[in-house]
Amino acid sequence: MSQLLASIRNLSVRYRTRDDVSYAVDQVSLDIQRGSVYALVGESGSGKTTVGMSLMNLLPDEADILGGEVWFGDKDVLTLNDNELREIRGRRATMIFQDPVAGLNPVIEIGDQVAEVLTTHLDMDKRAGKIAAIEILTQVGLPDPQRVAKSYPFQLSGGMCQRVMIGIATALRPELIIADEPTASLDVTVQAQILHQLDTLRREQGTAILLITHDFGVVSQIADEVGVMYAGHLVETGSVREVLASPVHPYTHGLLAALPRLDAARQDLYALPGNPPDMNEPSRHCAFIPRCRKAMQQCRDVGPPQLTSIPGQSGRSVACYNPVWQE
Ligand SMILES: Nc1ncnc2c1ncn2[C@@H]1O[C@H](COP(=O)(O)OP(=O)(O)OP(=O)(O)O)[C@@H](O)[C@H]1O
Ligand SMILES: [Mg+2]
């Protein structure tokens, strides 16, 4: 029996910039079950990081939440104060940030940063924290962990910083890890190690993972469910196996058809022709129309399609007036 850990309901987020606005996330709903991996995929700018950050109420000041709820257990994190949020952040949920260098403190040695997180959140004194920090740096495959521990973030490569972040996020054994492109700057061997480490946590500790990625290779390796995002909307959801085998949204279909081989090690999404739309006003029609080979007059006459269950296919949904059934 699956058990719900976190749930986003009808989340809409808009960013304010100096002279414009961006409707980054529109009416997104998704459920994350304990011990499962939910992959959020989509092109750059589709709103994945915004959704991930909202789970820990980490959105920056320029983000306005226009509506929705974000439940973690029995708490709506969007309504919690800082003290209540501290109970969740770091303890029950951690995030591996897309920009690993920005996720670390530039003026503190790596070993001290890792140790500090451990002593703050776990029952550990300073000395034990320092020893455990070296162990963690070793576990994430960093060569010469003693030297890394004595380094500052700017002395390490982006990939090395990312491994430090992964070490910190997993060491706390949270109930949920939000992993934002956790392997994007790593080579294939290290990527496999990190995915294995995440998968072990999930199996042994029951950790749930929201995996944000544009790499279908990664999705097929460890995710259970997938949500495909386009221009701030979730356009298709379902089990990874079924969505990869028979995608029904023309966007998902196009992305997967553009991949030469599904089982190849790394597969980027960016092969689809055309570009996503500007998001400086809420979409009045389906945002995918300009790139869609299945668009009909009806799509242009009505509002954006809602994500709805696919008849006869349990657990799958699509937001489209003219889905691809069989071709
Ligand atoms: N701090 C911000 N201020 C203004 N606009 C922002 C900010 N963060 C994100 N946006 C805008 O919101 C939209 C969604 O951004 P988001 O970072 O969530 O996308 P993403 O799917 O994670 O993209 P990527 O794959 O490039 O990481 C984009 O149009 C982006 O430009
Ligand atoms: Mg992002």
Tell me, yes or no, whether 327 lies in a domain. Answer: no
Which pLDDT score is estimated for 67?
A: 97
Predicted TM-score of the model (pTM): 0.93
Residue 319 to residue 271: CA distance in whole angstroms: 22
Which helix (H) or strand (E) element contains residue 230?
A: strand 225-230
Tell me, yes or no, whether 210 lies in a domain. Answer: yes
CATH of the domain at 307: 3.40.50.300
Q: Quick one: which ligand is closest to 179's CA?
A: 2
Closest residue to atom 3 of ligand 1, CA basis: 15
Tell me, yes or no, whether 21 lies in a domain. Answer: yes
| Tens place of pLDDT per residue across the chain (327 aa) | 579 999 999 999 999 998 999 999 999 999 999 999 999 999 899 999 999 999 999 999 999 999 999 999 999 999 999 999 998 998 899 999 988 787 899 999 999 999 999 998 888 999 999 999 999 999 888 999 999 999 999 999 888 898 899 899 988 889 999 999 988 877 888 788 888 888 988 998 899 999 999 888 889 999 999 999 999 999 999 999 999 999 999 999 988 877 665 555 455 555 677 888 999 999 999 999 999 989 999 999 999 999 999 988 889 999 999 998 755
Which residue shows structure tokens 């028979």? 246
| Residue 77 and residue 205 in one domain | yes
Instruction: Point out the ligand 1 atom lying closest to the alpha carbon of residue 53.
Output: 18
Task: Give the chain's radius of gyration (CA, Å).
Answer: 20
Instruction: Point out the ligand 1 atom lying closest to the alpha carbon of residue 229.
Output: 21
| Residue 40 and residue 51 in one domain | yes
Q: How far is the CA of 10 from the centre of ligand 1 (A)?
A: 18
- Token duo for residue 86: 């501290």
Domain interval for residue 275: 4-92+174-318
| Residue 145 and residue 259 in one domain | no
Residues 12 and 44: beta-carbon distance below 8 Å: no
| Residue 106 and residue 249 in one domain | no
Chain segment 152-211, per-residue pLDDT in tens: 999 998 888 988 998 999 888 899 999 999 888 778 887 888 888 889 889 988 999 999
User: 231-243 as b/e, with b when 16 or more CB fall inside 10 Å?
Assistant: bbbbbbbbbbebb
Indicate the top mutation candidate among 46, 181, 210, 211 to test ligand 1's pocket, ranked by most ligand atoms within 8 A of CB. Answer: 46
Which pLDDT score is estimated for 269?
A: 52
Closest residue to atom 4 of ligand 1, CA basis: 15
Percent of the chain at pLDDT > 70 equals 95
Residues 168 and 89: beta-carbon distance below 8 Å: no
Whole-number Cα distances in Å, 131 to 118, 204, 248 = 11, 23, 51
Tell me, yes or no, whether 63 lies in a domain. Answer: yes
| Residue 37 and residue 116 in one domain | no
| Residue 305 and residue 213 in one domain | yes
Which residues lie closer than 8 Å to 310 by C-beta, 6 or more apart?
Answer: 238, 248, 316, 317, 318, 323
Which pLDDT score is estimated for 103?
A: 82
DSSP state of 99: S
Q: How far is the CA of 44 from the centre of ligand 1 (A)?
A: 8
Q: Considering 157, 173, 189, which residue would you say is the last residue of a domain?
A: 173
The identity of residue 326, as a single letter, is Q
Q: How far is the CA of 229 from the centre of ligand 2 (A)?
A: 12
| Residue 137 and residue 222 in one domain | no
Q: Considering 132, 153, 173, which residue would you say is the last residue of a domain?
A: 173
Tell me, yes or no, whether 206 lies in a domain. Answer: yes
Q: Considering 173, 194, 213, which residue would you say is the last residue of a domain?
A: 173
| Residue 46 and residue 179 in one domain | yes
Ligand 1 contacts (CB < 6 A) are 15, 17, 22, 24, 42, 44-50, 60, 62, 98, 279
Which residues lie closer than 8 Å to 286 by C-beta, 6 or more apart?
Answer: 292, 295, 299, 304, 305, 319, 320, 321
Q: Quick one: which ligand is closest to 41's CA?
A: 1
Residue 218 to residue 252: CA distance in whole angstroms: 16
Tell me, yes or no, whether 325 lies in a domain. Answer: no
Q: How far is the CA of 325 from the centre of ligand 2 (A)?
A: 30
| Residue 255 and residue 288 in one domain | yes
Q: How many domains does the chain have?
A: 2
Residue 62 to residue 199: CA distance in whole angstroms: 35
107 three-class SS: coil
Tell me, yes or no, whether 326 lies in a domain. Answer: no
Instruction: Point out the ligand 1 atom lying closest to the alpha carbon of residue 232.
Output: 14
| Residue 224 and residue 244 in one domain | yes
| Residue 198 and residue 258 in one domain | yes
| Residue 191 and residue 85 in one domain | yes
Which pLDDT score is estimated for 57?
A: 96
Q: Quick one: which ligand is closest to 42's CA?
A: 1
Closest residue to atom 7 of ligand 1, CA basis: 15
Which residue shows structure tokens 């996720």? 103
Q: How far is the CA of 291 from the centre of ligand 1 (A)?
A: 21
Tell me, yes or no, whether 324 lies in a domain. Answer: no
216 three-class SS: helix
